[in-house]
Amino acid sequence: MWSRWACVLAVALAERVHLAEQVGLLEEHLPELKSCEDLSGGYQVPKEGLELETCTVGKAVVQVHLLGPLTVRGNVTVLGNITFLGSGNSKSMSFQQACVTIGGTLSVSGSMVIENCWNNGADRAHGGCLNASDLVLEEGLLRLDTCKTAGLGGGASIGTLLQRGGEMNVSKCESKMGGGGLNAGSLVMEGGFLNFDGGTTLGNGGCAQVTTVHQRAGEARFIHCVAAGKGGGLAAQSLAQDRVGSMRFVDGVARKHGGCAYLQKTTASGNLSFESCRTQKGGGCGYAKVLHQSKSGQLICRNCTAESGGCLFAKRKLDIGGVLKASSVAAPRGSVLLMARDTPATLQRLEIQQARGVALDGRRMNISELVLGPSDAPFRVRASDLFLDSANCSLMEECTFQQHEAQGRAEEAYSCF
């Protein structure tokens, strides 16, 4: 029996040694990285770090174990496959900057992976895995995993991010100041897939904090994102989405406004989908100061909760030219929509299922088509000025509209049973 256990232990030990060699933990076997010429195989960056002028990774497979940070003053081009393995398991192994810092443009057409980094610097604490002036993802893969920072952008801090294709994955990253996965000045998507999973921050934007976002095409997903501030998944000053763009938010939490998204100004023509989002304040799925949706747009809210505006909280203006679908949403004030004082709301088509209490709460609302699905509670609207062109309650057993004064308020309430 002991011989059997000895064999098991020997095999386990051999596997651990093999794994250690793979990730570069046995750094005595790895040569130091000194330049990017003719890269192939495994290398290490010493504890004092390394600075290069430029770097081109050719069509080879390269792995770099980071005992110290890598800084490239100019541009970096990745044509092959390169993996950077940090040592950020503890504060003593953290760096005073990102694992990889690029002063110029990072262009990725192959595969680039950075993981296990901790940026604990006071002055250059932006970007846990990556800090770059600009990033262009042409095709291939960019993956940032298990990184954190004391500043902005747990996964990466980027000036301008342009994604033409390929796939960018940011998972299990965190930051103190904002943008748990990504902090960027500008994000432009022309195609490909952008995936965030498990981002957290003490600031705004659990998975991403971006000044301006323009999604011309492609698909972006924000999953399991948490923010102590605003925007559990995404916090952005401006979001523009073309009709072939798609954004999906799942399981987002924000202590302040916008359970999954906090958006200052939004113009959307594609698909925006929110599911299982929640906040302690306004906008269970999303909070928007100004939201304009074209007739080709579709906005979906499922299973979202908030203190006010279970689906959406609109601060200044809400214009839904396409369709808004809300199901299983809840809030003490406006289980579907809450418009701030004197905020006008125009909705072309509104579909609601399972919305408890006062579903729509505002002063001026113009609804062209209201479709009510099955619900175990009455549907109610509270508004001073409500213009409803048509209501379809065919999916419900009985539906009649009643107008009466809301108790203690000048607004009128409408109920559908």
Q: How far apart are CA 169 and CA 196, in angstroms?
A: 6
Asked if pLDDT for residue 395 goes beyond 80, the answer is no
**At 12, which helix (H) or strand (E)?**
helix 2-23
Long-range Cβ contact pairs of 20-29 (< 8 A, separation 24 or more): 22/63, 23/63, 23/65, 23/85, 24/63, 24/64, 24/65, 24/85, 25/65, 27/65, 27/67
Nearest to 309 by CA among 372, 358, 247: 358
Asked if pLDDT for residue 412 goes beyond 90, the answer is no
Structure tokens at 204: 């705004």
DSSP assignment of 374-415, as one string? Answer: --SS-EEEEESEEEEEEEE-TTSS---EEEEEPTTSSSEEEE
Asked if pLDDT for residue 407 goes beyond 50, the answer is no
The average pLDDT across 187-208 equals 98
The predicted structure's pLDDT at residue 313:
97
The predicted structure's pLDDT at residue 230:
98
More confident residue, 61 or 358: 61
The predicted structure's pLDDT at residue 415:
54
The predicted structure's pLDDT at residue 379:
74
Please answer whether residues 97 and 118 qualify as being in contact, where contact means their C-beta atoms are separated by less than 8 angstroms: no
**Tens of pLDDT, residues 253-305:** 999 999 999 999 999 999 999 999 999 999 999 999 999 999 999 999 999 99
DSSP structure class, residue 245: -
* pTM for the predicted model, two decimal places: 0.89
The predicted structure's pLDDT at residue 394:
52
Residue with tokens 């939004």: 266
The average pLDDT across 40-63 equals 96
**Tens of pLDDT, residues 131-190:** 999 999 999 999 999 999 999 999 999 999 999 999 999 999 999 999 999 999 999 999
Structure tokens at 270: 């594609």
**Tens of pLDDT, residues 344-393:** 999 999 999 888 778 899 888 999 998 888 777 677 888 878 888 887 76
Asked if pLDDT for residue 5 goes beyond 90, the answer is no
| b/e sequence 25-41, b meaning 16+ C-beta within 10 Å | eebeebeebeebeebee
Structure tokens at 405: 């004064």
Nearest to 105 by CA among 158, 151, 142, 156: 158
Asked if pLDDT for residue 80 goes beyond 50, the answer is yes
The average pLDDT across 46-74 equals 97
* Residue 59 exposed, middle or buried by CB count within 10 Å (0-12, 13-18, 19+): exposed
